[in-house]
Structure 1
Amino acid sequence: MKSETITKCLLLFTLLCILFSCKEEELRQPAENDTTVPQLVSNVKVENLSGKARITYKLPNDKNLLYVKAVFTLANGTNFEAKSSFYKDTVVVEGFADTQEHEVKLYSVSRSEVLSEPTIVKVKPLEAPFQKVFKSIRVLDAFGGYNLTATNPTRDNISIIVMRRNAFNEFEVDNFKSIFTRTDAVLSKIRGLSTTKQELAIFVKDKWGNSSDTLYTDINPIFEAKLDPQLFRALVLPGDAPQVTNGAALVYAWDGRLGWPYTSFTHQINGGDVPHMVTFDTGVSAKLSRVWIRPFPEGTRYYYLSTMKRFEIYGSSSPNLNGALDASWILLGSYTVVKPSGLPYGNDNAEDQATAAAGFSWDVDLAAPKVRYLRIRCLENWAGGTAQSINEIEVYGAAQ
């Protein structure tokens, strides 16, 4: 009986909540014949933000109020409205392209869509997000194209419009090279261009139709070629890890042959637990673009044992022969291998195997100078140690 009584009480309470909710909703429904003018909001405050402003206020004690509406005009002449229900005491006005003072009219709106007299508010937005993005744009020549970077700290929806000259020598939008994003760190790597000098025109738009000035810049894509592996030579420096003793050798890393023993494979025990390094001479001084590495598989498992998971590549024109990783070496890049499937250690699916078998291409810092010698330093392999294995390696860039 006690359980039955509790159940009946809960059902009654639920019904009362639903009834109250419906009654409250009915109170806020439009009443077509009520022409009563709603009361004004009061105690208005403004917080100026990037390209927008947050306006807070005290709602009137008016049961006839349905929502508050902000009406304003952007610099391009477009009229906008922003609405906030009677449940909130804040409305955000946005889409401003400049930092000038703008007038905003706040209206209380009744259930019959009757507007109050306006409350005039002055806002002075901070620099708009699209303007910040435009100022941060950098275009750097790259191998076979260019890299475009920019920052978008407020993560607003922006469009970086890239224009190129057409057959009539007129700029037109290139949708394949333009960027549409809301990420905070923008990076666009364009490749496959001819190495002739080209002119770009770049500007930024936001979702309200505001546009920045236009940046005009020339790009000179750098010619890329594979360095001749026949010129490569192993260079064993003090501190470099020894190869395993059952057939592997560093020179096998560029011989074009796959499988055991045609691989570079350092020995964890003799090499110790410090990061394992191998060094070689490419035979030419070159500005490098990328280094391609195919890991050595243990059967069908690539993300296994001594396959490098986290590693660094260094370059030098004249390395210190004492083996020290000192100022004679320049860090060309730090890299992490990611297994596509995310499966646990020791488990590779078909996608994992195909990805690794195709090799990984690691971009070199474009700001790095020409180098001749390379050093690969394994920080962690997939087994958790520091030994490294490389089945094949290829180096790309522009030889000088």
Structure 2
Amino acid sequence: MKKLILYIAVLFLILGCKELGRIEHVDQSAPAPEQVVVKEVKNTSGGAIIKFQLPDDENLLGVKAVYERNGEIVETKASLFIDTLVVEGFGTMNTQEINIFSIGRNEKLSEPVVVQINPLLPPVQSVSFDVESGFGGVVINLQKNFSEADLALVLMADTAGNGKFADVQTFHTKSKEIKFPRRGLKIRPTKFGIYLRDRWNNKSDTIFKELTPIEEIKIPSDLFRNASLPTDYYLPAEGSTGYRLEHLWLGADASDGTFYATSHSAPMPQWFTIDLGRKVKLSRIQKWPRPDYELYSSTAPRIFEVWGSENPNPSGAWDDSWFLIGEFEQFKPSGYGEGREVGPVSPEDRDYWYNKTEFDVVPTEKAPDPYRPATHIRIRVLSTFQTFGTEADKSQIIIGQLAFWGQMVN
């Protein structure tokens, strides 16, 4: 019994010592730390980077900058292991006053060091943007976002024609250059407005335009057929009729095992040609994958080209009878990694992959006139997710369904 009591006493003593070891003494009577010494101020777009030298003070906890931004007093803090402060979010190039304090462990502040900065032109003022008519609505263009700032493009419209504008949609991006289509709008002259906003609620001037959306329909697939040109590749996997090219437009549910899948030894790049049975101008392409399979991986197309022709060479040759409609890469809402790796897949990525994947036809340097009429569409897959970034010359390709949108031409 005595041994048990002795053991318990020793245990409490050990635990008590450990607990006491966690207590950090803060001297509430210690004076505020000395001021920092500002060494350099580098003005940046909408802000500045302030480099400083820390005081030699054992009571030092960190440093903070206090300043006014859009009518509010805000703070930016740095630990004692960092010698720079970043202040940002200013919407003009006006001179700004920054107060920098040393912070003591007892939370006492030094006298402020007052620094004046002169922010460079902020992204909401330097980034180019515009809005123009598009198929089924309008297209918003953003360019020259060289700093890859996190921006929102706000589209407004006076749909009632009474001079009152209401928000239609807000698009978010960090891209240097991007186009956003907004469809589902009425085909009539409408006044639109668009402006940029950043995450600190700084805003650009608003651009106003009266535009008329271009009529767009889903191209009927009743006349589609496999053109079977000599250089095309469309042999189904295992020779199964359940994987033949026609399943791309027959409307069958891909979950029942009917979708397009080429053989496992198919050459790369590979292409197939669809005879549309009528003359059309394409505005966009919708794609559905094999359900619950190949999520941003494996044999799904990653980069591909779409070509059009009114009179393709019957030999299947790539010649002047074909014109480029566009080159596309599978979009991933959360973005790819710095090395273009897929990286983590978010719920938004998954939803887009299975329910919203589409590719907009827009003029580019490579495809300056993509809206030329075509009776045949040729899709040339340059890489799948498993061959992207490699020199692989063979790969199976799997696609659930395709649909084409645009205008039929008489």
Band of TM-score, shorter chain: 0.5 to 0.7
* Secondary structure of 1:177's aligned partner: strand
Aligned residue number for residue 58 of structure 1:
53
- Asked if residue 396 in structure 1 is aligned to residue 395 in structure 2, the reply is no
Instruction: In structure 2, give the amino acid aligned to 1:192.
Output: G
Against the structure 1 CA distance between its residues 377 and 207, is the aligned structure 2 distance closer, same or farther, given a 3 Å change threshold?
A: closer
- Asked if residue 22 in structure 1 is aligned to residue 16 in structure 2, the reply is no
Give CA-to-partner distance per residue, 1:3-47, whole Å, 9 cap, x none: xxxxx9xx99x9699748612xx13xx54xx8x675433253212
- Post-superposition shift, 1:381? 7.4
- Asked if residue 90 in structure 1 is aligned to residue 84 in structure 2, the reply is yes
Give CA-to-partner distance per residue, 1:242-288, whole Å, 9 cap, x none: 6578879766765667899998776777xx63544332332333221
Which of 204, 209, 214 pairs up with 1:217?
209
- Post-superposition shift, 1:359? 8.7
Aligned residue number for residue 198 of structure 1:
190
- Asked if residue 374 in structure 1 is aligned to residue 377 in structure 2, the reply is yes
How does 1:235-250 map onto structure 2 within 5 Å? Answer: 235-241=227-233
1:38 touches 1:64 (CA, 8 Å); kept in 2?
Answer: yes
- Post-superposition shift, 1:395? 2.9
Against the structure 1 CA distance between its residues 301 and 201, is the aligned structure 2 distance closer, same or farther, given a 3 Å change threshold?
A: closer
1:261 and 1:120 map into 2 onto residues whose CA distance is 70
Instruction: In structure 1, give the amino acid aligned to 2:379.
Output: I
Which of 273, 276, 290 pairs up with 2:284?
290
How does 1:248-287 map onto structure 2 within 5 Å? Answer: 254=249, 273-287=267-281
- Post-superposition shift, 1:374? 0.9
Kindly report the root-mean-square deviation, in angstroms, between the aligned alpha carbons of the 2 structures: 4.8
1:264 touches 1:390 (CA, 8 Å); kept in 2?
Answer: yes
Aligned residue number for residue 128 of structure 1:
122
Instruction: In structure 2, give the amino acid aligned to 1:46.
Output: V
* Secondary structure of 2:125's aligned partner: helix
- Asked if residue 146 in structure 1 is aligned to residue 138 in structure 2, the reply is yes
User: Which structure has the larger Rg?
Assistant: 1
1:379 touches 1:386 (CA, 8 Å); kept in 2?
Answer: no
Aligned residue number for residue 365 of structure 1:
361
- Asked if residue 323 in structure 1 is aligned to residue 303 in structure 2, the reply is no
- Post-superposition shift, 1:215? 1.7
Q: Which moved more, 1:138-147 or 1:49-58?
A: 138-147
Q: Which runs of 5+ in 2 are unaligned?
A: 1-9, 333-350, 364-369, 388-393
Aligned residue number for residue 44 of structure 1:
39
- Post-superposition shift, 1:138? 4.0
Q: Which runs of 5+ in 1 are unaligned?
A: 1-7, 339-353
2:192 touches 2:208 (CA, 8 Å); kept in 1?
Answer: yes
Against the structure 1 CA distance between its residues 57 and 286, is the aligned structure 2 distance closer, same or farther, given a 3 Å change threshold?
A: same
2:330 and 2:146 map into 1 onto residues whose CA distance is 25
* Secondary structure of 1:178's aligned partner: strand
1:240 and 1:251 map into 2 onto residues whose CA distance is 14
Against the structure 1 CA distance between its residues 167 and 107, is the aligned structure 2 distance closer, same or farther, given a 3 Å change threshold?
A: same
* Secondary structure of 2:49's aligned partner: strand
2:274 touches 2:378 (CA, 8 Å); kept in 1?
Answer: yes
Aligned residue number for residue 161 of structure 1:
154
Against the structure 1 CA distance between its residues 325 and 302, is the aligned structure 2 distance closer, same or farther, given a 3 Å change threshold?
A: farther
Aligned residue number for residue 314 of structure 1:
307
The TM-score, its normalising length taken from structure 2, stands at 0.65
2:331 and 2:50 map into 1 onto residues whose CA distance is 48
2:66 touches 2:75 (CA, 8 Å); kept in 1?
Answer: yes
Instruction: In structure 2, give the amino acid aligned to 1:42.
Output: V
2:179 and 2:380 map into 1 onto residues whose CA distance is 27
Q: Provide the identity percentage.
A: 29
Give CA-to-partner distance per residue, 1:286-310, whole Å, 9 cap, x none: 2213345667x8xx9976xx98645
1:77 and 1:146 map into 2 onto residues whose CA distance is 35
